[in-house]
């Protein structure tokens, strides 16, 4: 007998009254990866500290997750703290680590009520124990939610993830657990931070920069790219929905559209 659907709450409505576009489920991206860029520039343009920009970006993340739930995106991966972020000033690093920890603590109950599962991808070394504890607590608390999965990528880098996978494969090969001659792409996938995370369908970046910045370079090998001109604190669920519409338009099955080789966002 099939399990009854869980009774989740609906996300809070957008203040404008906007609702998601009517796009058939088969044309909605399953996995959206997001580079939340432009917090510092947004703050500097207003005479504020970079820290104030990061604070403002918290609202954007929550609203975009709400929009993902509403339109039917099953996976959202957010680039919250990269392995390169350690190069920033000690003050900003300290703030970012504490901020990521506190965002999860503040927002997990609300997102859990929507049916969001929270997961963590990233390296343990150097990461504060309190940050790891908060991420793992959120993972345990939301593990049974199945409406949307938010993967918080904290102390994460695409190259680091692949290097760590290669090191683990080498160790297992040396111990005779696997045959090096039979290592395939599927093998590498099994050694990534989240082996069951599906490939990225839509790669979304804010603030006008058009690069991946070492985010999910394995998973996003075939992703559609959409680059937003707005800095992250100005982004909300409506930007996600427009990106999903663009993703659907690029699918030649949708509305009779035809892909143009070499076309870019």
Active-site annotation, residues: 37, 85
> Who contacts 225 (Cβ-Cβ below 8 Å, separation ≥6)?
203, 205, 210, 264, 265
7-32 b/e (C-beta count within 10 Å ≥ 16 → b): ebeebeebeeeeebeebeeebbbebb
> Who contacts 4 (Cβ-Cβ below 8 Å, separation ≥6)?
none
Which pair of tokens denotes residue 190?
A: 């099994």
Maximum Cα–Cα distance for the chain, whole Å? 60
List the beta bridge partners of residue 32. 76, 202
- SS percent in the chain: helix, strand, coil, step 5: 45, 15, 40
């Amino acid at each position: 007998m099939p399990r009854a659907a869980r009774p989740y709450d609906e996300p809070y409505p957008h203040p404008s009254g906007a609702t998601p576009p009517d796009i058939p489920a088969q044309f909605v991206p399953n996995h959206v990866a997001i580079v939340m860029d432009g917090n510092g520039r947004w703050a500097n343009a207003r005479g504020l500290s970079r820290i104030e920009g990061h604070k403002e970006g918290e609202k954007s993340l929550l609203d975009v997750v709400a929009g993902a739930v509403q339109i039917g995106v099953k996976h959202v991966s957010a680039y919250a703290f990269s392995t390169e972020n350690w190069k920033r000033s000690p003050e900003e690093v300290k703030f970012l680590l504490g901020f990521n920890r506190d965002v999860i603590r503040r927002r997990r109950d609300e997102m859990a009520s929507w049916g969001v599962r929270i997961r963590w991808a990233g390296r343990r070394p150097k990461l504060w124990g309190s940050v790891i504890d908060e991420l793992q607590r959120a993972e345990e608390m939301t593990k049974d939610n199945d409406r949307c999965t938010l993967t918080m990528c904290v102390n994460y880098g695409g190259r680091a993830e692949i290097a760590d996978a290669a090191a683990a494969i080498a160790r297992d090969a040396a111990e005779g657990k696997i045959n090096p001659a039979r290592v395939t792409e599927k093998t590498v996938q099994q050694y990534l931070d989240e082996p069951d995370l599906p490939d990225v369908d839509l790669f979304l970046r804010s603030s006008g920069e058009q690069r991946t910045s070492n985010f999910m370079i394995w998973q996003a090998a075939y992703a559609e790219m959409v680059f937003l001109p707005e800095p992250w604190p100005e982004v909300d669920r409506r930007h996600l929905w427009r990106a999903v519409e663009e993703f659907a338009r690029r699918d030649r099955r949708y509305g009779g559209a035809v892909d143009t080789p070499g076309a870019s966002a």
